[in-house]
Structure 1
Amino acid sequence: MLVYGQEILNKANKEGYGVGAFNFVNFEMLNAIFVAANKADSPIFVQASEGAIKYMGIDIAVDMVQTISKRYPHIPVALHLDHGTSFESCKKAVEAGFTSVMIDASHHPFEENLEETIKVVKMAHERGVGVEAELGRLMGIEDNISVSEKDAVLVNPKEAEQFVRESKVDYLAPAIGTSHGAFKFKGEPKLDFERLNKVKELTRIPLVLHGASAIPDYVRESFTQSGGDIGSSKGVPFSFLQEAVKGGINKVNTDTDLRIAFIAEVRKIANNDKTQFDLRKFFAPAMEAMSKVIVERMEILGSANKV
């Protein structure tokens, strides 16, 4: 069942669990997400970036979600624009049928970010659509980073309080030390949970963790054994994800783990049977591997059996 994003996250915020937000770029990824949600009995966010929308076509992306959601009418699902870069991009997504959008103006100064977010919130709320915004910059925290350097890139809790109050945004992504991709930390993983707790205390709204892929050992090994190379990549440990949820995170973005798990299976088939060219033989096990990762994530975040 396709619902507005705030319906899913307000419930998660009230009951204290996290909901996985999983990126997709094609039918196979989207189908794997829904299969996992059905198996875990979990609400979901399915999200597409501007690049994914350009690849699929916005009409195709919306149609696929609407169609597959009818197959699982008991599963609450929000279709989310991930990292919308402009008012125009968010407006286009809302008009196309997205039920949640993110305006990412975090690279701008605070006042400009606030101004752009207010515009998007006004537009989206007229159609009932939930809005996410971001404060701070995504980057791994190094052990030797100074307090002033942390304050320069991570979210300022007092600014978050002002931002939420004035923008009326529905959910906020506060930068607390994660980053996108497979290489999140150069040293030991480190997140600023104290800062997160303060943001939650001051805002009380659902919070979002970006760059939250964990790169579990079994996913890494599968990728490596198939001939892949992700070097010294480091994801966010499961214990950190659970601590983040305890600190007020209610939406947890995951993309890299899905890609790695999917490609590992495709590469295995290609390596094991060089005569194979039936796409179904490649994609069926890839979808199954991805669904396994997603179900595990739902259980860790606490969204399993929350439908």
Structure 2
Amino acid sequence: MKNNIIRLAKELGFAIPQMNVNGLIWIEGVLKAAENQQSPIIIGTTDKNIEYLGGYEFILNTIKNKVQAMKITVPVIVHLDHGLSVENCKAAVDAGYDSVMFDGSQLPIEENIKQTKKVVEYAQLHDVLVEGEVGAVGGEEDGLIGQVKYADIDECVALVKEAKLDTLAPALGSVHGKYQGEPNLGFEEMTIIRNQVDIALVLHGASGISNNDIQRAIKLGHAKINFNTEINISWSKQLRDTLDENKELFNPQKILKPSIQAIELTAEKIIKMCGSNHQSKTLFKKNGDEKLWS
């Protein structure tokens, strides 16, 4: 079952990248990269973008149809990123999402636990994974704005144990969007949290973090790492270049094709950084069940 995938990645010592989509061409570029690299992939849809993307059912079915049309053979998990409410998380579960994140990081820890538990109890009925968050990831991306606030270790442990989470995103110095200066990740805190909770950790705001720091975070229990800004920068740069090179160009396919390729190439680089390339067969073998992703 799909709920094994992140746990198995943690056991095997790599991370599965989550790449957020902002439209159909992101889906195509990310899926091509995953298939080329034979990597499991998590496609994220940020809750603040759901209305723009057409609603939970529409975007989920669009991704599923694209997977089928492209004959994708690697495991694809569709995830609700930064769920804004318990009701929204339930709506994503009802639509058929594989995984949801309830973002209660702005709430007092007692309320965060209370609300997250509601999501977990509902999601478990449908075999859906739940991710929770403690602390605050800084920066701005997809309408999410925040100042960096390191996660409290005791609160992390309480949220995991009381809400019975599948994955935990402890905010430890990463930011959404572009970094101003060098990232300052809390590796000491990661070590303590890893030693106190027996679930996979999630790193948000990974675009711009060095390969060495990504590898260190993976060794400290991060088995899901989220990317968005890096892909969007590559896409937008290529789009500008294409239009600048031929100011008379108006054919949509000729304009968009190079930008899809830019998404694909950036996604492949991310996959290799996370070490998930060529891991699909390993996961099948580890699980001993070819219906792992059904």
Q: 1:289 is paired with a residue of what secondary structure? A: helix
Tell me the CA shift for residue 7 of structure 1.
Answer: 2.4
Alpha-carbon contact 1:38-1:72 (below 8 Å) kept: no
Residue pairs, 1:194-209, within 5 angstroms: 194-209=188-203
Tell me the CA shift for residue 165 of structure 1.
Answer: 0.9
Q: 1:304 is paired with a residue of what secondary structure? A: coil
Tell me the CA shift for residue 157 of structure 1.
Answer: 2.1
Residue pairs, 1:78-227, within 5 angstroms: 78-139=77-138, 153-182=149-178, 184-186=179-181, 188-214=182-208
Alpha-carbon contact 2:98-2:129 (below 8 Å) kept: yes
TM-score, normalised relative to structure 1: 0.85
- Which residue identity lines up with residue 19 of structure 1 in the other structure? I
Q: Which residue of 2 aligns with 1:47?
A: 44
Alpha-carbon contact 2:173-2:184 (below 8 Å) kept: yes
2:193 matches 1:244: no
Alpha-carbon contact 2:37-2:278 (below 8 Å) kept: yes
Alpha-carbon contact 1:19-1:252 (below 8 Å) kept: yes
Gaps of at least 5 residues in structure 1 are: 141-149, 215-235
TM-score, normalised relative to structure 2: 0.89
- Which residue identity lines up with residue 132 of structure 1 in the other structure? E
Alpha-carbon contact 2:31-2:72 (below 8 Å) kept: no
- Which residue identity lines up with residue 29 of structure 2 in the other structure? A
Alpha-carbon contact 2:35-2:72 (below 8 Å) kept: no
Q: Which residue of 1 aligns with 2:290?
A: none
Determine the C-alpha separation between the residues in 1 that align with 2:239 and 2:34.
22
Tell me the CA shift for residue 299 of structure 1.
Answer: 0.9
Which of the numbers 21, 33, 38 marks the counterpart of 2:35?
38
Count of aligned residue pairs for this structure pair: 271
Deviations 1:210-231 (A, max 9, x none): 01112xxxxxxxxxxxxxxxxx
Determine the C-alpha separation between the residues in 2 that align with 1:268 and 1:210.
29
2:54 matches 1:60: no
Determine the C-alpha separation between the residues in 2 that align with 1:212 and 1:125.
28
Determine the C-alpha separation between the residues in 1 that align with 2:162 and 2:124.
15
Alpha-carbon contact 2:100-2:128 (below 8 Å) kept: yes
Deviations 1:228-272 (A, max 9, x none): xxxxxxxx1121111111111111100001111111111111111
2:265 matches 1:268: no
Percent pairwise identity = 32
- Which residue identity lines up with residue 87 of structure 2 in the other structure? E
Q: 1:75 is paired with a residue of what secondary structure? A: coil
Deviations 1:125-162 (A, max 9, x none): 1100000010011138xxxxxxxxx9x92112232122
Q: Which residue of 1 aligns with 2:144?
A: none
Q: Which residue of 1 aligns with 2:232?
A: 259
Q: 1:159 is paired with a residue of what secondary structure? A: helix
Tell me the CA shift for residue 190 of structure 1.
Answer: 1.3
Tell me the CA shift for residue 60 of structure 1.
Answer: 2.4
Tell me the CA shift for residue 73 of structure 1.
Answer: 4.6
Q: 2:138 is paired with a residue of what secondary structure? A: coil
Q: 1:131 is paired with a residue of what secondary structure? A: strand
Determine the C-alpha separation between the residues in 2 that align with 1:284 and 1:201.
46
Alpha-carbon contact 2:173-2:185 (below 8 Å) kept: yes
Gaps of at least 5 residues in structure 2 are: 140-146, 281-294
Q: 1:284 is paired with a residue of what secondary structure? A: helix
Q: 1:153 is paired with a residue of what secondary structure? A: coil
Tell me the CA shift for residue 189 of structure 1.
Answer: 2.5
- Which residue identity lines up with residue 164 of structure 1 in the other structure? V
Q: Please tell me the root mean square deviation across aligned C-alpha atoms, in Å.
A: 1.6
Which of the numbers 18, 23, 27 marks the counterpart of 2:24?
27
Alpha-carbon contact 1:158-1:202 (below 8 Å) kept: no
Determine the C-alpha separation between the residues in 1 that align with 2:94 and 2:180.
38
Which stretch of structure 1 is more off in the superposition, 156-165 or 204-213? 156-165
- Which residue identity lines up with residue 238 of structure 1 in the other structure? N
Which stretch of structure 1 is more off in the superposition, 266-275 or 67-76? 67-76
- Higher strand residue share: 2
Determine the C-alpha separation between the residues in 2 that align with 1:202 and 1:174.
13
Tell me the CA shift for residue 25 of structure 1.
Answer: 1.7
Q: 2:136 is paired with a residue of what secondary structure? A: coil
